[in-house]
Structure 1
Amino acid sequence: MSEIIALEYGEKKGFFYIEIDGKVQAKMTFVFAGEHQIIIDHTEVSPGNNGKGFGKKMTEKAVEFARQKGISILPLCPFAKSVFDKTPEFRDVL
């Protein structure tokens, strides 16, 4: 089983995703809010993958992206917000 955690984005929006054996199993979408912030607006995990930590892995990827780009994250998605609430080491990008 090969797991890939990746990112795709354009000028206005994008998504983080987890692909296993060539199939997308989870996706976290965001939109750019100006040049210095992204808004995470939705997290979705395919049936049968709940509890595998996919949401947290995508949130980690979002934090890594924000740190590299020097931008902040506004987690409007309830799941993403809960990960930030539970993970103090991610809060530097809020």
Structure 2
Amino acid sequence: MIFKHENSRIYYMDENGKVLAEILFPTEADGTANITHTFVDDSLRGQGVAGKLMEMAVEQIKSEQKTPKFTCSYAIKWAEKNYSNSNTL
């Protein structure tokens, strides 16, 4: 599965151009990147795709020297279990 990376967005499309997985993390004025949306199509659920999207997003956010902020319900749950810098929640 090859994910496409854009500014504030990582996603996966099928061969027909349908988005099957996506995470959005727009940058706010204070320099945080707010993870506002995660989506995984039913056809990919249970395969760890949402977690992989989170890992890639946090990695990209940190590489841009921004601070991740978790507001999407899935992102909050993921961060509570996986993100060591919990003061950004």
- TM-score range (shorter-chain normalised) is 0.7 to 0.9
Number of aligned residue pairs: 87
What's the counterpart of residue 53 of structure 1? 48
Per the normalisation by structure 1, the TM-score is 0.77
For 1:85 and 1:19, the matched residues in 2 are separated by 28
Per the normalisation by structure 2, the TM-score is 0.80
SS at match of 2:78: helix
* Structure 1 residue runs of 4 or more that deviate by more than 6 Å after TM superposition: none
Structure 2 residue aligned with 1:6, among 1, 4, 7? 4
Q: Offset of 1:19 from its aligned partner?
A: 3.9
CA 1:63–1:92 in structure 2 vs 1: closer, same or farther (change >3 Å)? farther
User: Superposition pairs for residues 1-94 of structure 1, below 5 Å?
Assistant: 3-9=1-7, 14-19=8-13, 23=17, 24-34=19-29, 36-89=31-84, 91=85, 94=88
Write the letter of the residue equivalent to 2:11.
Answer: Y
SS at match of 2:5: strand
Q: Percent identity among equivalent residues?
A: 23
Which structure dedicates a bigger proportion of its chain to strand? 1
Q: Offset of 1:18 from its aligned partner?
A: 2.7
Q: Offset of 1:76 from its aligned partner?
A: 0.4
